[in-house]
Amino acid sequence: MSINLGYFISEAAISFKRNWVMTFGGIATIFLSLLLMGSALLMNSLVNDMVGDIESRINIQVWIHDDAEYVDIEGLQVALEGHENVATVHLVDKDEALERFTYMTQESPQIVEQLQDNPLPRSLEIELIDTQEIDGVLSLIRGSEEFPLIADPPSDPERALAYGQGIVETLLGATQTARYAGIALVGILAVVSLIFINNTIRLAIYARRNELSIMRLVGASNGFIRAPFILEGILQALVGAILAILVLLAIKSFVFPGLQETLAFITFNFTNALMTEIALILLASGVVIGTLGAIIAMRRYLKI
């Protein structure tokens, strides 16, 4: 069928030239929807990385009342060190707390200068082995005899505990909303590109109606008649997909390195494997949209 393949490709190319405005529209919408889809996939991986990163950094802090007895603090510290899910327990004394605070506020040193004495409390910093199993450690702290004695404020010991309550949930909730919006947008654009491709193929069918009626009369098989149109749809989609992939690669190589400098706390880690995966997803989606658009057009306008 080597002759046929050449025939199909030249037919698709001719139609490409003939209806270039519609073709351009089809390519542009496919490009946009695939670009959005690709960005959404990139963002998704970014958010997953971030969440993982934040989760791994979660630790527990126990604020300690200034009047607390050192024995009680040490008692709790020893008990915690005995727990299987605790990596380290570090007692931050008032000086270290002030040192950290000074570092954190170094941009406006007057804050520290205005302090009369050191108001910062001591604290126990507990690093966990598995952040998912944080509850066991929390209940150990809450159940210990020392905790109510050293907690700051003593009236409400629960407020002395800090372990990033809800940070992960809030983060996930926010990104989830963004993700749904993204999916909806990509869906709408996919429909628009379907309509565009459908229209271009319809015009192509109309432009070739005489040829098609002769092809039918002399007994060209249905597959033979349809093939150039499907090919045209796929070709448009592929061009759109390749453009989208190129733009994503450009964003990856030129925009993110700059962002990385400004947003140092986020690690942008786009591996080649991830980019390849996204590229393949975009190409596949493009082919699906192109084929579908062509098939819909042929069902409606090509009576075989």
Contacts with another protein by CB under 8 A lie at 1, 3-4, 7, 210-211, 213-222, 224-225, 304
* Complex with another protein: residue 187 or 223, whichever CB lies closer: 223
* Complex with another protein: residue 101 or 224, whichever CB lies closer: 224
* Complex with another protein: residue 14 or 51, whichever CB lies closer: 14
Candidates 270, 224, 293; CA nearest to 30 is 293
Integer Cα distance of 146 and 162 in angstroms: 17
* Complex with another protein: residue 161 or 215, whichever CB lies closer: 215
* Complex with another protein: residue 179 or 216, whichever CB lies closer: 216
For tokens 């950094």, name the residue.
57
CA atoms within 13 A on the CB side of 64: 25
Q: What is the CA radius of gyration of the chain?
A: 31
φ, ψ dihedrals at 126, nearest 5°: -115, 120
Q: Is 166 helix (H, G, I), strand (E, B) or coil?
A: coil
User: What tokens does 153 get?
Assistant: 């404020």
Integer Cα distance of 93 and 96 in angstroms: 5
